[in-house]
C-alpha cells in the first residue's frame, strides 16, 4: 500500500508540473510582441534610414522598433542628412517625414548664365533639357541647380544622371576635358532612357 501511495503521489506531482508548464507556454504564446511600428517617408523619396546600427529603406518604409525614444538618420545621395527623433509606442504606428535639402556637390561650381558669366573651370558642362527643371547628378554629386545649367567640373569621366521627382529618367557617360566645353542639349521624349554612346568619340 505504501508503494502504491508513493507512486500515486509521484504521478500527481508530474501531472501538476506538466499542467503548469503547459499553462506557462500558453501564456507566453498569447503575449503580443513588445514592439511598435515606425513609418518613415521623405521628400524626395528613395532615402535610407539608419538607427541603432540597422538600415531600412528606401523610403517610404515601415519597420519595427522596441518602445521608447529612438534617433533616426535619413540620408540620400546629393542631399544633406536629416536627424529625427521618434517616440515608439507598443502596438502603435509612429509616422514621421524628413524633408531633405540639396547638399551642393564638392568640386562643382555653377555658372551665372546671365550677363557677366564666365568659363573659368578646368572643364565646363552645359546641359539644356526638354522638359527643363531636371535634377542633375555627375556620378553621385548633385549639381545645385536644375536644368538648364552651366557648371565647371574637374576633368574626367562621369556618369550623368537626370532625375525628376526622385526617379531616374536619363543616364549618359560624359567625358569632361580640361579647358573644353561639353554641350548637351537633350530632348527627353521617352520616360526613361540610357545613352550608351562612347564619350571618347
Q: What is the residue extent of each domain of the chain?
A: 36-99, 109-195
Average pLDDT of 34-57? 88
- Superfamily name with CATH number, domain 36-99: Carboxypeptidase-like, regulatory domain (2.60.40.1120)
Domain 109-195 fold: Immunoglobulin-like (2.60.40)
Would you say residue 83 has pLDDT above 80? yes
CB 48 within 8 A of CB 74: yes
Q: How confident is the model at residue 104 (pLDDT cuts 50, 70, 90)?
A: low
Report yes or no on whether pTM surpasses 0.75: no
Identify which of 105, 89, 183, 177 has the alpha carbon closest to the alpha carbon of residue 137.
Answer: 105
**Are 36-99 and 109-195 equal in CATH topology?**
yes
Residue 107 pLDDT:
56
Strand, helix or coil for residue 18 = helix
> What is the DSSP-derived secondary structure letter of residue 23?
H
Average pLDDT of 160-189? 88
Amino acid at each position: 500500500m505504501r508503494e502504491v501511495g508513493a507512486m500515486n503521489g509521484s504521478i500527481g506531482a508530474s501531472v501538476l508540473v506538466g499542467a503548469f508548464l503547459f499553462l506557462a507556454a500558453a501564456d507566453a504564446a498569447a503575449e503580443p510582441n513588445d514592439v511598435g511600428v515606425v513609418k518613415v517617408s521623405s521628400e524626395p523619396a528613395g532615402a535610407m534610414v539608419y538607427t541603432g546600427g540597422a538600415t531600412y529603406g528606401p523610403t517610404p518604409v515601415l519597420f519595427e522598433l522596441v518602445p521608447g525614444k529612438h534617433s533616426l538618420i535619413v540620408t540620400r545621395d546629393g542631399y544633406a542628412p536629416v536627424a529625427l527623433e521618434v517616440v515608439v509606442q507598443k502596438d502603435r504606428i509612429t509616422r514621421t517625414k524628413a524633408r531633405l535639402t540639396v547638399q551642393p556637390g564638392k568640386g562643382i561650381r555653377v555658372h551665372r548664365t546671365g550677363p557677366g558669366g564666365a568659363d573659368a573651370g578646368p572643364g565646363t558642362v552645359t546641359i539644356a533639357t526638354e522638359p527643363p527643371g531636371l535634377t542633375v547628378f555627375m556620378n553621385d554629386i548633385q549639381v545645385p541647380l536644375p536644368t538648364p545649367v552651366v557648371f565647371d567640373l574637374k576633368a574626367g569621366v562621369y556618369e550623368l544622371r537626370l532625375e525628376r521627382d526622385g526617379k531616374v529618367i536619363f543616364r549618359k557617360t560624359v567625358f569632361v576635358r580640361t579647358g573644353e566645353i561639353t554641350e548637351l542639349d537633350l530632348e527627353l521624349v521617352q520616360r526613361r532612357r540610357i545613352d550608351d554612346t562612347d564619350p571618347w568619340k
